Amino acid sequence: MSLEGIVSTLPEIIGMLPLIMQASQIMFFVFFIWFFGTMTMKGFRGKRPLFVSTVGTLVIGALCLVAATSFSGFIPFLSKGLLSVLQLDVILAGVLVSVIFSFALSLMTHTSSPWSPSERVKLLERKVANLEELLRRRAHHISDHEAMHIAEHVMNGYKARHAKLVGNEYEVILKKNGKEGRVVIDVWDGEVKSMIFHESALRRFFTDPTKLMGLLIFVAVTSAALLFFEGFPNPADDITSMFGLDIDALGSMASMFGQNPLLGGEVPQGCVSPTIFVEYADELQDRQYILDHLYDDDEVASIIENNCGPPRMMIRFFHLGNEVIMGFTPDGRMGYTTDRIFCSCIDTEMPG
């Protein structure tokens, strides 16, 4: 692309900057919500259907981002200059919050199953020891009454109703205040193999100290995050403020530049684009070039004077077969014509 083309597209590029920055900011939020959420969900125990996993990741990730924003102020050494633009304080705070939430989620979803690998090994060791003892004496199994007594002992407050022998196991049915429970007991040594409480999951949750501890950690961190929350980070504003700019002013700048003829604004039909002066920048700064192209014509001077002010000096050159005459006024303005057609009046001095 030619230099003229680059200059002419500058207003359009500047006008797109706010949209680009806002889009990048949304992408920033979405990425870290998913990143923090995925990290937190690592602590979830048990099966996670796709819907639960996706919704959980987004919801907890959003909470992590809120918490990270709230707690980032407590990491001052990462909240200055370029480090603030890179949002390293938010990232570090988000990772720490994700680890805490992951631990809390692990506590809330733990299971106390005796069939976990470590517990199963211990159970098998006890089984082998019991079998060795049974070999030294005449094998016998516990009675149904003994099974019911064991079941009542492990399910405190429940009353055993009956015990049913199924293979090498007793299934003991118990009841308490209309609620039913079931205990599976080994027929040979009375080992409790499993317990099933037929009560609401909510009740089991709030009667489990480990789950409650996880919930309290989760609630405490979330409450603190909401207390200190002052709004989401705005990387776009941080970047523009580093250069002394305001993102809201970029649109106005684009509009202003778009109306400036020197940057590709509208000029009358038949006129060459004022962006050609960028190509002639070196020549127009050369004193000898100016002297060689000095021009004097009352008709053109009158045209420039009527639209821009009386020219103190005019120069003429040809661009792609078109006659271009530039007239410079004492107040720092430049008017130019193309083939004797007035085109535009441009301020050549920077505002002070």
Q: Which residue shows structure tokens 């005019």? A: 314
Closest CA to 8 of 252, 277, 243: 277
The count of residues in the chain is 352
- State whether 43 and 148 are in the same domain: no
Q: How far apart are CA 296 and CA 287, in angstroms?
A: 17
Q: Is the pLDDT score of 337 beyond 90?
A: yes
Q: How far apart are CA 13 and CA 261, in angstroms?
A: 16
User: Residue 254: inside a domain, yes or no?
Assistant: no
Tally the domains of the chain: 3
Of 34-38, 42-46, 91-95, 312-316, where does mean pLDDT reach its minimum? Answer: 42-46
Give, in degrees to the nearest 5, the angle at Cα 87 between 82 and 92: 125
Instruction: Give the model's confidence band at 299: pLDDT under 50 very low, under 70 low, under 90 confident, else very high.
Output: very high
8 Å CB contact between 14 and 257: yes
* 8-26 confidence digits (pLDDT tens): 555 566 556 667 777 777 8
Q: How far apart are CA 50 and CA 184, in angstroms?
A: 33
Q: Between residues 41 and 3, which one has the greater pLDDT?
A: 41
The residue range of the domain holding 295 is: 264-347
Residue 198, both tokens: 């037929």
Which residues are within 8 A (CB) of 29 and not within 5 positions of it... i.e. 6 or more apart?
65, 232
- State whether 299 and 331 are in the same domain: yes
Q: How far apart are CA 211 and CA 221, in angstroms?
A: 16
Q: Is 177 helix (H, G, I), strand (E, B) or coil?
A: coil
Residue 187, both tokens: 């027929």
Q: How far apart are CA 21 and CA 28, in angstroms?
A: 10
Q: Between residues 273 and 239, which one has the greater pLDDT?
A: 273
- State whether 89 and 213 are in the same domain: yes
- State whether 107 and 16 are in the same domain: yes
Determine the pLDDT at residue 125: 74
User: Residue 60: inside a domain, yes or no?
Assistant: yes
Determine the pLDDT at residue 338: 93
Q: How far apart are CA 137 and CA 126, in angstroms?
A: 17
- State whether 123 and 107 are in the same domain: no
Give CA 315 to chain center in angstroms: 57
**Phi, psi dihedral angles at 317 (to 5 degrees):** -150, 170
User: Residue 67: inside a domain, yes or no?
Assistant: yes
Fill in the amino acid letter for 327. Answer: G
Q: How far apart are CA 54 and CA 41, in angstroms?
A: 10
* 116-161 confidence digits (pLDDT tens): 556 667 777 777 767 756 654 555 678 888 889 988 888 878 888 8
Instruction: Give the model's confidence band at 265: pLDDT under 50 very low, under 70 low, under 90 confident, else very high.
Output: low
Which of 108-117, 121-130, 211-220 is the most confident on average? 211-220
Q: How far apart are CA 113 and CA 154, in angstroms?
A: 15
Against a cut of 0.75, is the pTM above it?
no
Q: Between residues 33 and 82, which one has the greater pLDDT?
A: 33
User: Residue 253: inside a domain, yes or no?
Assistant: no
Residue 338, both tokens: 């193309």
